[in-house]
């Protein structure tokens, strides 16, 4: 080891300072760092130095590795959400100072969860890497790309006009369409929904800009779920742009953005639970089925009623994911020999792949299809009656039953029965609640019962809250009923566990 005169002087200086760092040069020319501490004798006189050597090259390599660990997504090698948000904050400050325009793109892969469900997570990792590569190929040197969630990516475009950003969005959506997940002979082509948020001279925060892009992306998902736009019809995904961030005090920002964030978090973290309400045969008093009702768990574990989150989920294309979760759980109940009914939204009903999903869940669990009932509303039928009729026919061919929920309150209720081969009519609580005091409600119930009997269908009255109403429904020959008088919704896990124990099955 060689030491220069400067190094010797630094050692002399170190004697006064007790500890410090010096640089040494090896015979090979490599520079190393030495952390040096001075040891003194009992009387305080300098005694000897202790050197701890460290290669500068090794140190730089370690620092580089740590930076990558902090900044990058380990699967794709792209930036993570934290690093992307930092870079977005910097870009926003620069844009506000220089007055240059830019855009942020939020991208979500459509139905990617099905890739993991069908092919497994190992296969699912490959298309995520491929999507990262495909997106990077669409960008210029100064653009930033990050994986911000399980199947979500974000892109930052600086110094780019809005029309150029829209063109890039279409380009990245098409690039994702070129990625294929494959296992054996099965293949699944990727598609994406893209949301854009533009920025410029006005000061903005990264958090709000990203939320605005997310909102635009959810609007694109909604457009795709309803079949709006040529891109959606070609299966290329959808793109939606928001020219300005939503105002802080707007209803959309204050309600939808908060709920979108909470719903997305609940989906990603599996924060939904099922409650089960008994459906009772009026003639015998026997529980013949349970309707499964979904609740969302808040961050503090509080139960959130569906009326608080489902409208937003349906508006922005997230409700189908929630329905898929419910179908999978319902199949587990049926697996145990427990008859259950699960509700489906209009978004799910309009999905031509829904029937295959139900069939797959039944096959995976080995459940008896006759124990699974699917409830649809008349409002949901208005979305696409052709797809709905096809779905209902397929479910009945499997052995599942289909119930028309809230009958009499939707669109052209009686005419729907000519096209839909359903099994059950559920009489809406609107006609049940005042059955004893409103002759019109009794006439509606009587008419529904006569119609159902003529068509060979069964009837269920909803919202039964007192014994006198139940007795009157029996006199009107309604087959079954549900409501607080017969049983309040209870945590479904207990019912599922009891059913599993009854058939000797293992708990999940």
Residue 507 reports pLDDT greater than 50 = no
C-alpha to C-alpha distance for 245 and 460, rounded to whole angstroms: 47
Average pLDDT over residues 115-138: 82
Q: What's the mean pLDDT in 8-33?
A: 59
Q: For a pLDDT cut of 70, what percent of the chain falls above it? A: 74
Cα separation, 251 vs 208, whole angstroms:
15
What residue ranges of the chain are covered by domains with CATH 3.20.20.450? 269-503
Tell me the C-alpha distance between 346 and 384, whole Å.
9
Q: Which two tokens stand for residue 220?
A: 């694109």
193-206: pLDDT as tens digits? 898 999 987 878 88
Range of lowest pLDDT (250-254, 314-318, 319-323): 250-254
Is the distance from CB of 488 to CB of 277 less than 8 angstroms?
yes
Q: Tens digits of per-residue pLDDT, 371-413? A: 999 999 877 776 677 888 889 999 999 999 999 998 877 654 6
| Cα 74 → chain centroid | 21
Could you tell me the two tokens for 82?
């934290």
pLDDT tens string 171-190: 999 899 888 887 777 778 88
pLDDT of residue 234: 37
Q: What is the 3-state secondary structure (H, E, C) of 330-395?
A: HHHHHHCCCCEEEECCHHHHCCCCHHHHHHHHHHHHCCCHHHEEEEEEHHHHCCCHHHHHHHHHHH
Residue range 73-246 forms a domain whose CATH class is: alpha beta
State mean pLDDT over 301-313.
91
Q: Which long-range contacts (CB under 8 A, 24 or more apart) does 485-488 make?
A: 486/278, 486/280, 487/277, 487/278, 487/280, 487/287, 488/277
**What integer pLDDT is reported at residue 441 of this predicted model?**
94
pLDDT band (50, 70, 90) for residue 84: very high
What is the crossing angle of helices 258-268 and 206-225, to 10°?
70
Instruction: For helices 112-119 and 121-136, give the axis angle rounded to 10 degrees.
Output: 140
Res. 295: pLDDT tops 80: yes
pLDDT band at 226 (very low <50, low <70, confident <90, very high): low
Interhelix angle 319-335/354-365, nearest 10 degrees: 30
| Distance from the Cα of residue 345 to its chain's centroid | 16
Band (pLDDT 50/70/90 cuts) for residue 216 is: confident
Cα 198 off chain centre by: 24
Query: What gap in Å lies between CA 35 and CA 54, rounded to an integer?
Result: 8
> Residue 167: which residues within 8 A CB-CB, separation 6 or more?
none
Give the percent of the chain with pLDDT over 90: 45
Architecture of domain 269-503 in CATH? Alpha-Beta Barrel (3.20)
The more confident residue out of 319 and 370 is 370
431-489 confidence digits (pLDDT tens): 999 999 999 999 999 999 999 999 999 999 999 999 999 999 999 999 999 999 999 99
Whether 236 has a pLDDT exceeding 60, the answer reads no
297 conformational bin, left if phi > 0, alpha if psi -120 to 50, beta if neither: beta
The mean pLDDT value of the chain amounts to 81
Contact 216, 241 (CB under 8 A): yes
Angle at 361 between CA 357 and CA 363, to 5 degrees: 115
Burial (CB count <10 Å: 0-12, 13-18, 19+), residue 259? buried
Q: How much is the pLDDT for 248?
A: 37
**How many CB atoms are closer than 10 A to CB 60?**
10
pLDDT at 68: 59
- Could you tell me the pTM of the whole model? 0.63
Span 15-29, average pLDDT: 62
Whether the pLDDT of residue 322 is over 60: the answer is yes
Q: Which residue has the higher pLDDT, 94 or 17?
A: 94
In the chain, list all ranges with CATH 3.30.70.270. 73-246
Residue 313 in contact with residue 261, Cβ under 8 Å? Answer: no
Average pLDDT estimate for 88-101:
92
């Amino acid at each position: 080891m060689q030491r220069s005169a400067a190094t010797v002087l630094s050692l002399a200086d170190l004697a006064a300072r007790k500890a410090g760092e010096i640089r040494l040069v090896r015979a090979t020319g490599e520079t190393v760092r030495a952390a040096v501490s001075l040891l003194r004798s009992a009387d305080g006189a300098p005694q000897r130095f202790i050197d701890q050597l460290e290669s500068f090259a090794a140190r730089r390599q370690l620092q580089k590795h740590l930076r990558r660990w902090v900044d990058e997504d380990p699967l794709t090698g792209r930036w993570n959400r934290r690093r992307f948000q930092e870079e977005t904050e910097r870009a926003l400050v620069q844009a506000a100072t220089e007055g240059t325009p830019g855009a942020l793109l939020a991208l979500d892969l459509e139905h990617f969860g099905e890739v993991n469900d069908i092919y497994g997570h190992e296969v699912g990792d490959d298309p995520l890497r491929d999507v990262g590569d495909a997106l990077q190929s669409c960008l210029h040197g100064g653009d930033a790309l990050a994986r911000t969630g399980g199947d979500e990516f974000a892109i930052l475009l600086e110094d780019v006009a809005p029309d150029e950003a829209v063109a890039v969005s279409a380009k990245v959506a098409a690039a994702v369409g070129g990625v294929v997940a494959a296992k054996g002979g099965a293949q699944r082509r990727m598609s994406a929904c893209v949301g854009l948020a533009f920025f410029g001279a006005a000061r903005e925060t990264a958090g709000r800009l990203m939320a605005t892009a997310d909102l635009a992306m959810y609007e694109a998902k909604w457009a795709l779920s309803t079949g709006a736009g040529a891109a959606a019809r070609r299966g290329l995904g959808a793109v939606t742009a928001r020219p300005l961030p939503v105002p802080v005090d707007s209803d959309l920002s204050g309600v939808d953005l908060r709920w979108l964030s909470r719903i997305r978090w609940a989906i990603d973290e599996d924060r939904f639970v099922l409650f089960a309400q008994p459906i009772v045969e009026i003639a015998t008093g026997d529980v013949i089925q349970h309707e499964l009702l979904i609740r969302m768990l808040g961050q503090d574990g509080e139960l959130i009623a569906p009326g608080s989150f489902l409208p937003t989920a349906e508006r922005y294309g997230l409700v189908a994911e929630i329905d898929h979760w419910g179908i999978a759980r319902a199949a587990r109940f049926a697996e145990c020999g427990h008859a259950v009914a699960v509700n489906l939204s209009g978004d799910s009903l309009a999905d031509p792949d829904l029937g295959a999903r139900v069939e797959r869940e039944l096959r995976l669990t080995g459940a008896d299809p006759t124990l699974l009932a699917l409830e649809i509303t008349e409002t949901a039928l208005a979305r696409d009656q052709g797809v709905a009729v096809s779905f209902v026919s397929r479910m009945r061919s499997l052995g599942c039953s289909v119930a028309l929920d809230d009958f009499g309150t939707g669109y052209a209720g009686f005419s729907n029965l000519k096209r839909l081969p359903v099994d059950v009519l559920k009489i809406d609580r609107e006609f049940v609640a005042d059955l004893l005091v409103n002759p019109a409600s009794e006439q509606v119930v009587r008419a529904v019962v006569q119609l159902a009997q003529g068509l060979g269908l069964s009837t269920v009255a909803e919202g039964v809250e007192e014994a006198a109403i139940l007795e009157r429904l029996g006199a009107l020959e309604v087959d079954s009923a549900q409501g607080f008088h017969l049983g309040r919704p209870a945590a479904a896990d207990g019912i599922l566990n009891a059913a599993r124990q009854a058939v000797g099955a293992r708990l999940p």
